[in-house]
Structure 1
Amino acid sequence: MAYHWDFSAVTRNADAFAAGLVNTVLLSAAGIAVGLALGLVVALMRLSGRRVLAWPALAFVEFYRNTPPLVHLFWFFYGLPMVLGLTLSPFVAALSALGIQSAAFFAEVYRAGIVSVERGQWEAGRALGMGRARLMRRVILPQALRRMVAPFVDRSFELIKTTTLAAALTFQDLVYNAMVVTTQTYRPLEVYTAVAVIFFLLLFSLSQLAEWLDARMKRRGG
């Protein structure tokens, strides 16, 4: 017997999909912001040349790059209340877990971009009397950032897709709301097809925007 598709389950619950999408975008944007900020700090620690800073940064990167995000989600949401008596909302727990883990990946992007800048740029800056911090801010990072766009976009997309795990914490993102709609309508194929289409449209639109920004930065950089 052929399956009879009925997307009325989706259209009748458009408000639930819209609310879930907004929450997904908010969690993704906040996670990327945390990852970028913390990742830069970790990258600079690794490049500092001081073992007291470089070794903890390396341990942080290796630990978070080699452990599953779902474990960190459960630790922040279920573990902290038992260990420290600290209770986090689903959003804060998901943001903490995903933002911190993404920082490990963003840190490697920063580090690779910074070390890719030609040594002559460092020497020229020092010859002009620039200190390390000023040289990094005025000369190295602007050049490195142009080379980081594609890796940053790839990692950001991975983070956006990983936010779907936050549904396990009852965070009302797109996937969680889709699960609720499925239990109410018994139309899982239509509901999750709609979720896939929404994610595709979101990520495809962002990829086009990223390509445009990358091309513009390359033109400005000569």
Structure 2
Amino acid sequence: MRYDWDFGAVLAQAPLLLDGLIGTLRIAAAAIGLGVALGLVLALMRLSPRWLLRWPAAAFVEFYRNTPAIVHFFWFYFAMPVVLDVSLDAFLAATLALATQSAAFYAEVFRGGIRSLGPGQWEAGRALGMTDGQAMRRIILPQAMTRMVAPFLERSFELLKTTSLASTLAYGELLFRATQVNSATFRPLETYTVLAGMYVLLLFLFSSAAGFAERRMTAFR
């Protein structure tokens, strides 16, 4: 059986696919920003000598590391509005699902980077009259950041791919728009081939930018 490829109908829907690409970038940027902030808080809690801070943070990290991402999407979109009597649209629910899951992984990246520095760095800060908080901001974190670059970028790379799960909530990201294009054109092979190409290009550009950033930061070590 010979199949006649025809990308014309799919390419005619380029504006719809471009809208999906913008949706993917929006949700990825929001989730990374929120995930990084929450991840840093969790990392500091896990490093705290107080068990009231350390144990809840550890439980949060383990929960998210051991449950599928799609479960979090469904929970925030379908269950959370019922439990808390709030209204969440698809974008907000997907962002919260991605951000909280990624925060668990970012927390481990931050914790590993901070713990990789020896006690001498803390002692140097105290010798200069700094509190532990000041030493963390001025000495520990700046040095730890250069050691976190590779795992941090890898996690962000995975988050960008996971945005495709937002299509299960009918959020207008790239996969959801491609499904709409397929329904309109009845050209699944062409539609999902173009979709795959767009993901490859997007992730290649992200990977190239990430590699450049990693090399730049490594140069300052």
Task: Tell me which interval the TM-score lies in, with the shorter structure as reference length.
Answer: over 0.9
Give the structure 1 partner of residue 110 of structure 2.
Answer: 110
Residue 196 of structure 1 corresponds to 196
Percent of aligned positions with the same letter in both sequences?
55
Task: Look up the equivalent residue of 1:49 and give its one-letter code.
Answer: P
Per the normalisation by structure 2, the TM-score is 0.97
Amino acid in the other structure paired with 1:196 = A
SS in 1 for 2:36: helix
Asked if 1:59 corresponds to 2:53, the answer is: no
Q: What is the letter of the counterpart of residue 66 of structure 1?
A: N
Report the CA distance between 1:85 and its aligned residue: 2.1
Does 1:40 find its partner at 2:43?
no
- 2:161 aligned with 1:161, yes or no? yes
> Partner residue of 1:83?
83
Paired residues for 1:85-164 under 5 Å: 85-164=85-164
Name the amino acid aligned to 2:44: L
Whichever residue aligns with residue 179 of structure 2, its letter is: M
Equivalent residue letter for 2:204: F
**Distance (Å, rounded) in 1 between the aligned partners of 2:83 and 2:216:** 49
Deviation sequence 1:20-39 (CA, Å, 0-9, x none): 00000000011010110000
Counterpart for residue 25 of structure 1: 25
Q: Structure 2 counterpart of 1:115, which letter? A: R
Unaligned regions of 5+ residues in structure 2, if any? none
- Provide the aligned C-alpha RMSD in A: 0.9
| SS of aligned partner of 1:86 | coil
Asked whether the 8 Å contact 1:9–1:191 carries over to 2, the reply is: no
Matched, 1:5 2:5: yes
Q: Is 1:174 matched up with 2:174?
A: yes
Give the drift of 1:208: 1.2
Counterpart amino acid of 1:181? V
The amino acid of 2:153's aligned partner reads: V
Amino acid at match of 2:138: R
Contact 1:16 1:177 in 2 (8 A): yes
